Amino acid sequence: MSRTAIAPTVLPIVRLGHPALRKPARALAQAEIRTPNIQALIDDMVATMVDSDGIGLAAPQVGEEIQLFIFGVQPTPEEPDPLVPLQIVVNPMIDPESGELVHDWEGCLSIPGLRGLVPRHQALRLRGFDREGKPVDRRLEGFEARVVQHEFDHLNGVIFLDRMRDLQSLSYAEEAEEHLSEYDASTPGPGPGFAG
């Protein structure tokens, strides 16, 4: 099946308060994945994520209540092999590995400007389907595993604020960077984190 020839569109990203961010998304039927509408949505989501300087985007963030997310960085002439290559995952399932949760900084394109320390599993197994409907089955760890957990949460009506154990780290990115030296040395500083 050929994909649409229409140029991708940058979609509006819904913000906290939109009902799509708080509803569990529905799974796509296998036959739906390769339809022109879903293929066009994937292309639009990639354009939207790139335009927003994000590293992840879930369908509910563009008002589509389906189990689909994208993450990673598109190759460019300057960076032909990005650290996290662009990936599309439909109907994902994750199996976190046991072990201590790791706190790190996260942000969200649907909650612009805010960052906070969020505990996540260090490694996981990701299963689902790619944009062609072929099975995905990978082990991810570190930053990539964190991004996947963040996007997976969006498909279940969960945002990073719900995962924070202590809201004292919640801050606007600009203010946090300006006052970085005022953070206690034992507390990780508000690094760039990511927005997804």
Domain ranges of the chain: 19-100+118-161
Pick from 51, 43, 94: nearest CA to 70: 43
Annotation: CATH topology of 19-100+118-161? Peptide Deformylase (3.90.45)
Long-range contacts made by residues 37-43, C-beta under 8 angstroms, separation at least 24?
A: 38/68, 38/131, 39/1, 39/3, 39/4, 39/131, 40/3, 40/4, 40/6, 40/8, 41/68, 42/68, 42/70, 42/88, 42/131, 43/3, 43/4, 43/8
Residue 84 in contact with residue 73, Cβ under 8 Å?
A: yes
**Against a cut of 0.85, is the pTM above it?**
yes
Q: Could you tell me the pLDDT band of residue 174, with boundaries at 50, 70 and 90?
A: confident
Q: What percent of the chain has pLDDT over 70?
A: 88
Q: Which positions ≥6 away from 32 have C-beta within 8 Å? A: 38
Catalytic residue among 144, 151, 177, 178: 151
Mean pLDDT of 142-168: 96
pLDDT over 50 at 2, yes or no: no
**81 is written with which tokens?**
């092999």
Q: Could you tell me the pLDDT band of residue 131, with boundaries at 50, 70 and 90?
A: very high
Q: What percent of the chain has pLDDT over 90?
A: 76
Q: In a 3-state reduction of DSSP, which class is residue 170?
A: coil
DSSP label at 142?
H
Residue 188 in contact with residue 104, Cβ under 8 Å?
A: yes
pLDDT of residue 182: 54
Q: 175 an active-site residue?
A: no
Per-residue model confidence as pLDDT tens digits over 151-163: 999 999 999 999 9
